[in-house]
């Protein structure tokens, strides 16, 4: 678990601003994921990437964008098009052929 680092842990965004959440892993994992969690709710998949320079939309991709230029990095941008971005964001990774998905510690995003 300690091999996935998310930053910042807390972030405040003004309406109309884009913000980027960082996710870095040193586990040499191929696949990386972004999930969103709302209070009292489960985790919903935003985007995922199975290989460098490739990514796919999850169930709630609208208003978000990602890039995967390096194996260890998968940043998430919350754009102004995301009308209700206040949530807990979790990054995760897994080694292809492996069993366990590891989560970062999460980032809290609040719109002010």
Partner 1 sequence: GENVEQHPSTLSVQEGDSAVIKCTYSDSASNYFPWYKQELGKRPQLIIDIRSNVGEKKDQRIAVTLNKTAKHFSLHITETQPEDSAVYFCAASPGSNYKLTFGKGTLLTVNP
Binding site for partner 1 (CB under 8 A): 1, 31, 33, 35, 40-45, 48, 50, 58-59, 88, 90, 94, 96, 99-101, 103-106
Q: Minimum CB separation from partner 1 for residue 16, in Å? A: 28
52 vs 103, which CB is nearer to partner 1?
103
- Asked if residue 8 has a cis previous peptide bond (ω within 30° of 0), the answer is yes
50 vs 73, which CB is nearer to partner 1?
50
Burial 54-87 (b: 16+ CB within 10 A, else e): ebeebeebeebbbebeebbebbbebeeebeebeb
């Amino acid at each position: 678990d300690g091999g996935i680092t998310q930053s910042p842990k807390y972030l405040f965004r003004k309406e109309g601003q884009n913000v980027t959440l960082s996710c870095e892993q040193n586990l040499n994992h191929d696949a990386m994921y972004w999930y969103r969690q709302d209070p009292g709710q489960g985790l919903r998949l935003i985007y995922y990437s199975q290989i460098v320079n490739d990514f796919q939309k999850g169930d709630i991709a609208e208003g978000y964008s990602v890039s995967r230029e390096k194996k260890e990095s998968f940043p998430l941008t919350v754009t102004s098009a995301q009308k209700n971005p206040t949530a807990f964001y979790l990054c995760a990774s897994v080694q292809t052929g492996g069993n366990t998905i590891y989560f970062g510690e999460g980032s809290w995003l609040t719109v002010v």
